[in-house]
Amino acid sequence: MSDIPQHGFATRAIHLGYDPLDEQGALSPPLYLTSTYTQDSIEAFDQIRLGERQGYVYGRTRNPTQALLEARLASLEGAEAGVVTASGMAAISATLFSLLQSGDEIVVDQIVYGTAFTLFAQGLTRFGVRAVFADFTRPEAVAAAIGPKTRAVYFETPANPNLRLVDIAAVSAIARGKGLLTIVDNTFATPVLQRPLAHGADIVLHSATKYLGGHGDLLAGAVLGRQEHIDAIRLQGLRYFTGATLSPFTAFLVLRGIKTLELRVQRHSESARQVAQLLRGHAAVADVFYPGLPDTPGADIARRQLSAGGGLVAFELKGGLAAGRTLLDSLKLARIAVSLGDPETLIQHPASMTHASYSAEDRERYGLSEGLLRLSVGLETPEDILADLKQGLDRL
């Protein structure tokens, strides 16, 4: 079925780029565990290196199982090409090390995943790259932060951990007008709900550890975008800056994960919407942040960019951190753990867990409350998730 690329999201996630009749009728794509490849002549290796011939040489930069996953993820994000990596942080670092060099600046949103913040605030400075943090909910603040040395802008939307929303079209228009690249981490929304390239972004990143793998049993990353950028990220960022290659077996697991991605994200979203409504109506809750609530901050952006609210809910209790600790200790179904996008409902305290690498001053400055809790709503029976949360809240 050569016309699969014109089919729907779920059909492409399941069928794109592979015909079982090419592989003895094997319905599940083969797993290529080889580290190296032979060819029939030295000339063949020259032709592959020069891009005159499709083929494989060595597993650090290309592998057929990874290549199928890259083709499917690129299709799901509406990208020309993709490259997969050993983790989400590997996707971020391979991208930054390929596209930036000493003396460059990059404008970054104030609210990003904690370890990504550390890479920007501390890691890149060791190589002469300066991150300038700005409030991306105000596009004019992004424009003001751009200088003659800026090469790119970077943000997450919805952002980790408080789910704040950034207007992709507005920010990417500012960046494009100054000849800059727009890099968007789409981990929280997934391409089921949001495709940043369609709103003007140039590069999309994923921690495939999360919703794409979808079962809390792997670490992986992905970068999607134009061929020229993906080639640079593969042949520089992956091949020699990081070497952070995705194992073929993990690529096989992510291929299996994305077959149910649309179904899972829809279920995560519906359950999270119910959780957000429960929280919104409970006396112990001070504030709820959920893109699927009609009056959430940035609701107009959500309506333009997201087809549903997603599986993450952030909230604050009236009793602050002390109440948060009591709640976490009283939950019986939800597990206290970092990460997200698992079938299991997970709850965590960003200030002491995923965002502990922000200094207390930076958390204060950027509005990351000490009392904020982040809930990754799982795939359990929704009534059970709600009952567990309610019994914990009712004790406060």
Q: Which range in 85-93, 245-253, 259-267, 320-328 contacts ligand 4LM by CB under 6 A?
A: 85-93
214's CB contacts (< 8 A; 6+ apart) are 257, 258, 260, 261, 264, 341, 342, 343
- Measured CA to CA, the distance from residue 101 to residue 167 in angstroms comes to 27
Interaction of residue 315 with ligand 4LM, rule CB under 6 A = no
Let me know if 318 is a catalytic residue: no
Give the residue with the Cβ less far from ligand 4LM, 29 or 221.
221
Residue span 347-376 as binding mask against ligand 4LM, x where in contact by CB under 6 A, dash where not? -------x----------------------
Of the candidates 267, 265, 293, 270, the one whose C-alpha atom is nearest the C-alpha of residue 280 is 293
d(CA 83, CA 71): 9
Contact indicator for 291, 310 with CB cutoff of 8 Å: yes
Distance between CA 396 and CA 388 in Å, rounded? 14
| Distance of closest approach, residue 134 Cβ to ligand 4LM, in angstroms | 18
Q: Residue number with the shortest CB distance to ligand 4LM? A: 88
110 near ligand 4LM, rule: CB under 6 A: no
| 155 sits near ligand 4LM (criterion: CB under 6 A) | no
**Does 261 interact with ligand 4LM (rule: CB under 6 A)?**
no
Binder among 77, 105, 167, 185 for ligand 4LM (CB under 6 A): 185
Q: What is the torsion angle, in degrees rounded to the nearest 10, for the CA atoms of residue 71, residue 76, residue 80 and residue 83?
A: -50
Total of chain residues touching ligand 4LM, rule CB under 6 A = 17
Check residue 160 for interaction with ligand 4LM (CB under 6 A): yes
Binding track over 264-293 against ligand 4LM, x by CB under 6 A: ------------------------------
Tally DSSP H helices, then E strands, for the chain: 15, 12
Residue 109 interacting with ligand 4LM (CB under 6 A): no
DSSP state of 82: E
Q: Can residue 61 be called a binding residue for ligand 4LM (CB under 6 A)?
A: no
* 254, 188, 194, 280 alpha-carbon torsion, rounded to 10°: 140
Scanning 255-263, 293-301, 316-324, 338-346 for contacts with ligand 4LM by CB under 6 A, the matching segment is 338-346
Token pair for residue 261?
């991605």
CA separation for the pair 163, 200 (Å, rounded) = 21
CB nearer ligand 4LM, residue 16 or residue 181: 181
Spatial neighbors of 303 by CB under 8 A, at least 6 apart, are: none
332 is an active site residue = no
Q: Which of these is catalytic: 109, 135, 167, 185?
A: 185
The structure tokens listed for 303 are 């309506």
Catalytic residue (choose from 37, 56, 60, 104): 60
Residues with a catalytic annotation lie at 60, 113, 185, 210
Chain residues binding ligand 4LM by CB under 6 A are: 87-89, 113, 116, 156, 160, 185, 187, 207, 209, 219, 221, 338-340, 354
